[in-house]
Amino acid sequence: MSTVTDDTLSLLQQAATEARGLAIDAIDACSSGHLGLPLGCAEMGAALFGNQLLNYDPAAPRWLNRDRFILSGGHGSMFIYSWLHLAGYELSLEQIKQFRQLGSETPGHPEFGDTVGVEATTGPLGQGIGNAVGFAVSGKRAAARYNTTEHSIFNQHVVALHGDGCLQEGVAKEAIAFAGHNKLDNLILIYDSNDVTLDAMADQTQSEQAELYFQSQGWDAVTIDGHDVAAFSQAFIAAKAQDNGRPKVIIAKTTIAKGIPEVEGSAAGHGEGGAKFAEAARLGLGLPAARFHVSSAVRDYFSEYAAKMGQARQEWETLFAAWKLANPALAQELAAGLEDGLAEDLLQQIPEFPADTNTATRASGGVVINAVAKAVPHFITGSADLFGSTKNYIKEGGDFSAENYAGRNVWFGIREHAMGAICNGIAYDGIFRVSGATFMVFADYLRPAIRLASLAKLPVNYIFTHDSVGVGEDGPTHQPVETLSGLRVIPNLDVIRPADAEETAAAFAAALGRKDGPTALILTRQGVRANSALSASERREGTLKGAYIARRESSELQLIIMATGSELPHALDAAESLGAGVRVVSMPCFERFERQPADYKASILPASCEARIAVEAGVSSTWGQYLGFKGKAVCIDRFGLSAPGATVMQQLGMCPEKIVEVAGELI
């Protein structure tokens, strides 16, 4: 069965050739970039964007039921820029000419928010596959939650293009297993199988049998010639048609850098090396000498095509309007999700805890998250096989699974890295607000995804429990020491380590209220004594500001003790024995504190008081800014110990006595 007429086929082939030309010219112009993928995948690009495979409308780039296309092999960014341009997205030829230049809409690797039509920030290989799985989770959940028997408003597919590199990465393997297990049959991977990586031919580093591998993960796999528009289209249409509980992979055999004979099919074709043959390549491809050439035939084809796609989208808009009319409550919930709207009184909707609550902040977190879940219906959560410990299970939320895609608790399995990348995908999709949990010491397992969430300004929430050597018996492998500072150094990540239940309530509200970046909530395993000298609202408001006075001095200020989380009670106890001139500052979130007006900051940490101590069960690295030259850290600049938590804390100086001793050196 042919899925394409001869006329269309030759037009699409011409478009593929011109897309090759754009990639060659853009990469040649800046002498950097990756030619291999855009040249090798040009026919598939033409089919995806010009042969009714992807549902998209360049006039409404984020319409809700569009197919999501993610270029996981972000190094091949000229692929997506060429096709977005040809397809009629607001990405001008001028921007293509500005490839990789300062402030352009065509950055070296695709960045969410920089380029219309780019769904995700990709480049670190493997992440895009994880993101695609997140989009697929979001799509499945949106369909289950919002489709009705009368109106099926969500039936989009998620399509990701990747190469050998993405597939070699562990994060992709974790995400692929998750997708197969959860039967995400709305997901299609296109594997650009060109048998080349960067340094060498792929068989230097891989020998797995891709079809068998995917099949073993519960996927359908088919292998085709990626330069054959008809064969690829047919495979793609078949993949879309089968709601059989199996995600799909199309293994497309391609020739890397096809169109530059000097380098095609070899590792030399991967990067910009082929650009030096640009002149000859242009000739060989039958392109005119003028650079950045797009023929009027191709332009006309895509503008007619866009009109057709626009019509299809309009039909959906009519359906959507009817759905909204028939389902006002669901429509309101969906709108709130899309705007990420929160009740203004979210914090008030989290009940106050009894004044003498001395529970672990992870346990308080469990109470808080359930109150938040009631107030914010588009909020979902998940854990990497640690719900029982991370306590973030939404009690009446049900489990997300193939039997219940409307569930609000995602069981990620022991796949922290994929959890991070999947959360990013859900956040990119923008319909649901997502949180993911694990032990804090394993935050490093998903750090690349946290970094990307921070870069892409995604409002993902991380719930990291067991936050210090206070974990105890599990020993140094499970006791984070460098992790807290390690998270603080990631730009645009808010790190909140609350000291008691009320601070925890505010920490969750702060995380939910944040829209331009992720927040990590750092919670204890062990019980913490509430600072009942202050009212609940004083502690909550103070936490929202990042730092506040937990104990005010009652005579002239002599010393400031700064502390976070479970060390705050030690600081308060030390201050009691040190006397009237000692102030204690609770500093749950450096980043929020830094965003306060200068006069507020000065009122909490007046420059005139240089005698300062920082108390935290972790390395001292990030405290210098508050300690100055004269301050001293009571921190843990070493790995922990295998012993009961209280013993380890005491042994490593996390106790009032140690603070008093250090204070003696200062005042």
Ligand X SMILES: Cc1ncc(C[n+]2csc(CCOP(=O)(O)OP(=O)(O)O)c2C)c(N)n1
Chain residues that interact with ligand X, rule: CB under 6 A: 34, 36-37, 73, 75-76, 123-125, 163-166, 192, 194, 196-198, 256, 270
Q: State in angstroms the smallest separation of the CB of 192 from ligand X.
A: 6
Name the strand (E) or helix (H) holding 138: helix 127-146
477 is written with which tokens? Answer: 């492998």
Q: Which is nearer to ligand X, 226 or 498 (CB)?
A: 226
**CA distance linking residue 629 with residue 237, whole number of Å:** 66
Give the integer Cα–Cα distance in Å for 229 and 243.
23
Residue 73: CB minimum distance to ligand X, A: 5
Nearer to ligand X, 124 or 498 (CB): 124
CB 431 within 8 A of CB 334: yes
Q: Give the nearest distance from C-beta 114 to ligand X in angstroms.
A: 18
- No. of helices (H) and no. of strands (E), the chain: 26, 17
Distance CA 222, CA 574 (A): 67
542's enclosing H/E stretch is: helix 536-544
Least Å from the CB of residue 200 to ligand X:
10
CA distances from 214 to 124, 178, 401, 535 (A): 22, 12, 20, 56
Task: Supply the minimum distance, in Å, between the C-beta of residue 113 and ligand X.
Answer: 20
Residue 383 · residue 358 · CB < 8 Å: no
Torsion angle of alpha carbons 72, 74, 78, 79, nearest 10°?
-10
* CB-based closest residue to ligand X: 163
What amino acid positions are annotated as catalytic residues?
Answer: 416
Check if the beta carbon of residue 224 is closer than 8 Å to that of residue 238: no
Q: Which is nearer to ligand X, 193 or 524 (CB)?
A: 193
3-state secondary structure of 134: helix
List, in order, residues 6 or more apart from 666 with CB less than 8 Å away.
559, 611, 612, 613, 630, 631, 632
Environment class of 127 (CB within 10 Å of its CB; exposed 0-12, middle 13-18, buried 19+): buried
Please report, to the nearest 10 degrees, the dihedral formed by the alpha carbons of residues 89, 95, 97, 98 taken in order: -150
Shortest CA distance to 539 belongs to which of 335, 365, 347, 383?
347
For residue 627, the Cα-to-chain-centroid distance in whole angstroms is: 33
Nearer to ligand X, 74 or 377 (CB): 74
Closer residue to ligand X, CB minimum distance, 161 or 334: 161
Minimal distance in Å, beta carbon 448 to ligand X? 7
Pick between residue 274 and residue 459 the one whose CB is nearest to ligand X: 274
Residue 71's DSSP bridge partners are 161
Please, what is the minimum distance in Å from the beta carbon of residue 161 to ligand X? 10
- Cα(76)–Cα(192) distance, rounded to whole angstroms? 11
Q: 52-76 burial, b for 16+ CB within 10 Å, e for fewer?
A: bbbbbbbeebebbbbbbbbbbbbbb
Nearer to ligand X, 31 or 537 (CB): 31
Residue number, 45 or 73, with CB nearest to ligand X: 73
The CA–CA distances, whole Å, from 144 to 140, 190, 274, 426, 643 equal 6, 26, 48, 15, 47
540: its two tokens: 């909550």
- Dihedral of alpha carbons 254, 258, 264, 270, sign: negative
Could you give the C-alpha distances from 157 to 68, 186, 236, 273, in angstroms and in order? 6, 5, 11, 35
Query: Least distance in Å: CB of 120 to ligand X?
Result: 14
Complex with ligand X: residue 66 or 75, whichever CB lies closer: 75
Task: Indicate the pairing of strand 612-615 with strand 379-383.
Answer: unpaired
37 versus 64: smaller Cβ distance to ligand X: 37
| DSSP β-bridge partners for residue 249 | 189, 221
Q: What is the CA radius of gyration of the chain?
A: 27
What whole-number distance in Å separates Cα of residue 48 and Cα of residue 51?
6
Tell me the backbone φ, ψ of residue 570, rounded to 5 degrees: -65, -40
For the CB of residue 228, give the shortest distance to ligand X in the complex, in Å: 18
Alpha helices in 254-351 (DSSP H): 278-285, 296-326, 328-339
Question: Taking Cα atoms as reference points, which of 621, 631, 636, 629 lies closest to residue 665?
Answer: 631
Q: Are 592 and 503 in contact (CB under 8 A)?
A: no
Identify which of residues 34 and 632 has a Cβ nearer to ligand X in the complex: 34
- Minimum distance, C-beta of residue 178 to ligand X, in the bound complex (Å): 19
- Minimum Å distance from CB 20 to ligand X? 14
CB-nearer residue toward ligand X: 73 or 546: 73
Question: What's the min distance (Å) between Cβ of 615 and ligand X?
Answer: 37
